[in-house]
Structure 1
């Protein structure tokens, strides 16, 4: 497999390792948005959230919580972001979460789309039914 993150897991490509266990790895992003920007990945190759075993997802989220605490202590940011892109928007092709400190005026932001997407009780009801609630 020609996956850069799998090669990092296998030790074929070096990284600035922050943490690893039998399920996950955490290392510094080589293109950090802000200092302290880390990536958390499963050691097994997955593309999307719905493919990953719950045990691995829980390990990733638990580590992200610890990383946030460290980011707050070390960098005193105004906030932080935890994000992940799936499907075609996962530019690496290996599931990964970004965790990074945020500061007012740092330029990172969420834009509101020009198009108005329908928001309705019908949509929430349909999604709730699909979740079997």
Structure 2
């Protein structure tokens, strides 16, 4: 098997999607496959991956965004109900801290006082409103 990064043939998640590697699947449709994370934060921690190999959210074709996030939404509700959770944490990384270079969203069931703290890193403030306005302007310019 080649490891051409453009076709995903060496990708662990592509191999799960193709049935070459085992996984505890919880959902699949034409757009996605969802399966339990092998190293869950809590029982029910599920990964939702697009069937096609794309590395990051910004690589996901525009026409795939709706079907992908529609599935993420449905899986999130199912995880919350099945695990009798009070809520959930839904997150994904782009490149940095992305353990598998294939787009995936983590759906983690949550309960109050479960020990997971919102974001996992220290948060700060902008030094002043001028700095915040400048950052907002830079992002708007890229849109």
Query: What TM-score do you get using the length of structure 2 for normalisation?
Result: 0.80
Residue 9 of structure 1, aligned match among 12, 17, 24 = 17
Q: Does 1:62 align with 2:70?
A: yes
Mean alpha-carbon deviation: is it higher for 34-43 or for 116-125? Answer: 116-125
SS, match of residue 96 in structure 2: helix
Residue 51 of structure 1 corresponds to which residue in structure 2? Answer: 59
Q: What per-residue deviation string (whole Å, max 9, x for no partner) do you get for residues 94-121 of structure 1?
A: 11110111112222222324x7655511
What are structure 2's unaligned runs of at least 5 residues? 4-9
Deviates most, 90-99 or 62-71: 62-71
SS in 1 for 2:72: helix
Shift of 1:17: 1.1
Instruction: Report 1 or 2 for greater relative contact order, CA contacts < 8 Å, sequence distance ≥ 6.
Output: 1
1:40 aligns with 2:48: yes
Alignment partner of 1:19 is 2:27: yes
Normalised to the residue count of structure 1, the TM-score between the two structures is 0.85
Q: Is the 8 A contact 1:47 1:90 kept in 2?
A: no
Provide the rounded CA distance (Å) in 2 between the counterparts of 1:69 and 1:41: 16
Runs of 4+ in 1 over 4 A off after TM superposition: 115-119
Number of residues of Structure 1 aligned to a counterpart in Structure 2: 130
Partner of 1:103 in structure 2? 111
* C-alpha contact 2:126 2:132 (8 A) present in aligned 1: no
In the other structure, the counterpart of 1:112 is 122
Name the CA distance, whole Å, in 1 between partners of 2:28 and 2:84: 25
